Amino acid sequence: MNDILQYKNYYGSVHFSASDEVFHGKVLGINDLVNFEGTSVKELKAAFEEAVEDYIDTCNEIGKSPDKTYKGTFNVRVPSALHKEASTFAAINNITLNEFVKMAMNFALHRKEQLIKISTKGDDELIGIA
């Protein structure tokens, strides 16, 4: 089981441990590790909201921003054929590969409700348009 909770613009992962019979997760998009857990969905949601509130309060007390800082750079590993196709597309359209990747990410994120998961093979997730 893998799902996402949202509270005050913070997101939390959700997992279930069958051996412990407990739901657990962590707050995403922050620089620290903040976990939460519960034995029911209602308890899990309450624990998540409490974890977010406690984290925000703690950050305010010590004068730290609660949000993770993103540099705007990251490495992406893709199959060589996809790399070649993207580079060729960028060159034909007189843009850099970086500009093409930004455009593709922006396009996908503004149409995320149309994206559907087809299958997962290793680390490469294939998606399609609904």
Predicted local distance difference test score (pLDDT) of residue 116: 66
Say if residues 15 and 23 touch (Cβ distance below 8 Å): yes
Among 9-18, 65-74, 78-87, 108-117, whose mean pLDDT is lowest?
108-117
Distance separating alpha carbons of residues 38 and 2, to the nearest angstrom: 15
User: With 0-12 CB in 10 A as exposed, 13-18 as middle and 19+ as buried, what is 90?
Assistant: middle
8 or 120, higher pLDDT = 8
Position of tokens 């893709």? 78
Position of tokens 């925000």? 56
Which amino acid is residue 82, in one-letter code? L
Q: pLDDT (tens digit, 9 = 90+) per residue, 17-41? A: 999 999 999 999 999 999 999 999 9
Structure tokens at 116: 């559907």
pTM of the entire structure?
0.69
